[in-house]
Structure formats: structure tokens, C-alpha cells
Structure 1
Amino acid sequence: MIGALQCVVLDCPEPVSLARFYQALVGGTVNRRDRRWALNDEWATLHLPSGQVLAFQGVDDYRPPRWPDGTHPQQFHLDVGVADLDAGHQQVLAYGAKLLDDGGGTRGWRIYADPAGHPFCLVLERPPQST
């Protein structure tokens, strides 16, 4: 092993605003003090309850991915498990997400873009099958 993953970094035009979007989506603390990073207008963090960290880096002339257009690839995406897909849908739209693909209404997932254009999925959590 060479090192340990510190965080996942998303490029965006407004770091604190996007950190707050993801805070509403998955919880956590925006811009908690951390010796690893200096916080400023061009860098924000979201410390998740699980211990993981998402970071948001301001980029001049930011160009969002365009799912599913391969000429502007998504680069990565997050899957967020939800117990109720319809309720999650309404909540992420209220926070500023845009629906990209409704999964045909029967697939158990939907694809959205966050306010900076990064794709993410809401995935229906299914209870374990009893045997």
C-alpha cells in the first residue's frame, strides 16, 4: 500500500454551496476544522458521519459533465441508497438537483445532476432476502 485515501474531490464553481447540497443529501459537517486542509473560498469539505470526506475545489471556467455524453464524461459518480425512491426524488429536487434519467420508473434507481452538474444516483435500498 502506498497511502490512504483522504477524500474524494469534486471540481465545481462554488465549493461551499456544493458542500451544503451534499450535506443535505447525505449528512455531515461542512468545513469542520481539519489539519489536512486550509478552508477558503476555493476549497470546502464535508466530513461524513461514516468518517469519509468529500472535498469541493473551486475551478475557474468550470465545465460540468453532461451525462451520458462521452465527450463531456461524468468522471465519477456517487450512489446514495434511499429507503423511498419517490421521497428521495422530491427531496433532491428541492435541494437543487436535476433529474437526468428516471430509470424507466421500474429499475430501482434514478440519475440526477447536482447543482454543479456532477451525476449521482439515488438507489433503492432493498431489504435482505429471507431464506
Structure 2
Amino acid sequence: MPVQMKLGAITLDCPDPLALAAFYQQATGLEPHPKSDADFAGLNREDGLFIGFQRVDDYQAPSWPDQTVPQQLHICFNIEIEDDLDEAEAQLLELGAGKPDHQPHDEARARVFTDPVGHPFCLVRR
């Protein structure tokens, strides 16, 4: 029987941890980690999941969907079926997200965005 593992943390490379943490905090409502600083910032979820953001000198943004600079990581955020994807998209774009022209899914169910430093992520209707 495999060991029962539960995801505890995800950490993203970036040029400015506090700025990227602020973007995701506004987008998700997660609580900032009290020991966040200019080199490493984080967000906490009630169930213990931690999203971290670590400073990387000479950071290169992923070039998704091409793989000149691989995406490195892809995060999906679920939203409830009654939530409006168009409203969520408008909010994310206002916060600084990008929306690539290439959308590989049915946009009524899922949409791909990029955070302010280029990491791709999806909003998926559950």
C-alpha cells in the first residue's frame, strides 16, 4: 500500500515574492504568512496548504504555450458551477493576470491565465 501523502506546500519562483503573493492573495483570499519577506513570501489556507513565492535572480518567465522556457508548474483553481467565469476573468485581468490567446479547453468550463510573472494557471468550473 502506498504511503498516504497530503500536499502541504507549493512554491513558485519569481522576481518579487511579496508582489506575487499579493496578486494571489487578492485573487484567492488566502491569508498572508506572517513571516513573509522580500526573499520568500507565502499564503496560508485554512486546511494547512501553503503557497510560497521565492525570489530567483535572473528569473525567466515561462513562454507557455510554446516551450522555449518551459512552464515549470501549472496550477488549477476550482470555482463553483454557479460562479461566473466572465466575472472571475475580469477580476483577474484587473489584478494583473494575462490571458493567452491559446485556450486549449472549452471556455465555458475552463480558462488559462498567466500570473504577473508568467506562470500559467487555470480557473476550472467544478
User: What TM-score comes out, normalization by structure 2 length?
Assistant: 0.83
Rg bigger for which structure? Answer: 1
Superposition map of 1:1-131 within 5 A = 1=3, 5-33=7-35, 39-82=36-79, 83-100=83-100, 101-103=102-104, 106-125=107-126
Shift of 1:51: 2.0
Distance 2:111 2:56 in 1: 27
Structure 2 vs 1, CA of residues 97 and 106 (structure 1 numbering), >3 Å: closer, same or farther?
Answer: closer
Choose 99-108 or 77-86, whichever is displaced more: 99-108
- Segments ≥4 residues shifted beyond 2 Å: 1-6, 101-107
Gap runs ≥5 in structure 1:
34-38, 126-131
1:57 aligned counterpart, secondary structure = strand
Cα distance change of structure 1 residues 109 and 31 upon mapping to structure 2, 3 Å threshold: same
Work out the number of aligned pairs and report it: 120
TM-score (norm. length: structure 1): 0.80
Q: Cα RMSD over matched residues?
A: 2.2
Local SS of the residue matching 2:34: coil
Distance 2:78 2:8 in 1: 22
Q: Distance in 1 between matches of 2:5 and 2:105?
A: 41
Unaligned ranges ≥5, structure 2: none
